[in-house]
Amino acid sequence: MNRTLKISCTAMFTAVSVAINYFTAKLAPNMALSFTIAVCFLAGIYLGAWPAMIVGFMGDTIAHLIHPLGAAYNWFLAISTALFGVICALVYKIPLKSKLLKLVIALLICFVVCICGLNTFGLWLQYKVGVEPGFVGLIQFLTTDIPVDTSFWVYLTARLPSSIPNIIINGIVVAIVQQLRVFDKLFWHLDGEKER
């Protein structure tokens, strides 16, 4: 894919990511249902790691600037969203024939690293520890004795009932798109290369 086309497709996926982030269904202060993961995964599969990172990070950042949902910007969520596409792109480079197996591997890694790790930690810092959800808040948390009534592990356990269905739903969306091969045909046509 030529550079101009890749930039255009990255911009298109970023716009979709902003829209999806904007319409995230907030179920509780620490729980949301969104199709952001699916958009980032599709960007990773069809555009590669760097464009997918831009799609995830910019989609999250621009959506927050447009519609902040009454909370401070959480850098941990932005980094996590950027990593969704990067991890997926890297997993899809593994020489396995089954796209479904690659998808499951990417979903599992993202669930552990991004959702259980970065997302939950960022939200825990923001809502339970009460510090800024970014580098300054992290330093403050590590260097001062802040009383915390809910541990990270208790908070993680409370988030799992909404996190597991969210990633499964996103995985199903990506699997359906892959099965329909809509993007395969589109990118094959745009690229002028042999169909995948």
Cβ atoms of 172 and 38 closer than 8 Å = no
Give me the mean pLDDT over the 167-185 stretch: 89
Per-residue pLDDT of 57-80, as tens digits, reads: 999 999 888 877 667 888 999 999
Kindly state the helix (H) or strand (E) to which residue 27 belongs, with its residue range: strand 25-28
pLDDT computed for residue 136 by the predictor: 87
Per-residue pLDDT of 28-57, as tens digits, reads: 655 667 889 999 999 999 999 999 999 999
Query: Which of the two residues, 45 and 24, has the higher pLDDT score?
Result: 45
Torsion of CA 18, 195, 5, 64, to 10 degrees: 10
| Whole-number Cα distances in Å, 3 to 47, 55, 152, 155, 183 | 11, 16, 43, 43, 18
Cβ atoms of 183 and 46 closer than 8 Å = yes
Report if pTM > 0.85.
yes
Torsion of CA 85, 45, 37, 22, to 10 degrees: 90
pLDDT computed for residue 28 by the predictor: 63
End-to-end Cα spacing for the chain:
13
CA distance 98 to 146: 48
Per-residue pLDDT of 125-163, as tens digits, reads: 988 998 888 888 889 888 988 888 899 999 999 888 888
Which CATH class name applies to 3-191? mainly alpha
pLDDT computed for residue 41 by the predictor: 96
